[in-house]
Amino acid sequence: MNKTILVLHGPNLHLLGQREPDVYGNTSLEKINKKIKAKAKSAGITIDTYQSNQEGQIIDKITKSDYDLIIINPAAYTHTSIAIRDALAAIKKPAIEVHLSNIYKREDFRKKSLISDVVLGTISGFGENSYYLAIDAAAAIFAGD
């Protein structure tokens, strides 16, 4: 298929596996990234992954790289970052928003995403499977190109 995807992980997601496992699961980010890559490979998609705790670095990755699609879990920046929203709106490439937890089932401050209306769609609440479902969605989008 020859398509490329950047998978971006926001703040504190480097702690996956140790961080609130009842909310975010027991699997480390490294393992999730490996599974994302394996799944994408079988669909002929090449993946780069990137995690940062810094808003500016995430914005640089969004605006200074060239992928066919971005999958992003903005983590806490989902609820606060107009700058990440603007970066996603500025690029011409499609994006999918991902959350491990169901943000609509949690505290009120998590129910508002500043990102959702500048992406194609949001997958929220399926644990690590949210990422793998996003790969399926991306493959379907590419197939419909």
Q: Would you call 50 a catalytic residue per the annotation?
A: no
Question: What is the side-by-side order of every strand in the sheet holding 69-73?
Answer: 45-51, 3-9, 69-73, 95-99, 121-124
| Active site annotation includes 9 | no
State the CB neighbour count (10 A cutoff) for residue 7: 26
Amino acid 114 reads L
Selected catalytic residue, list 9, 77, 99, 132: 99
**Interaction of residue 35 with ligand DQA, rule CB under 6 A:** no
At 142, which helix (H) or strand (E)?
helix 129-143
Report if residue 40 touches ligand DQA, rule: CB under 6 A: no
| 122 interacts with ligand DQA by CB under 6 A | no
Residue ranges binding ligand DQA (CB under 6 A): 12, 73, 75-76, 78, 99-101, 103, 110
User: Active-site residues: which are they?
Assistant: 24, 99
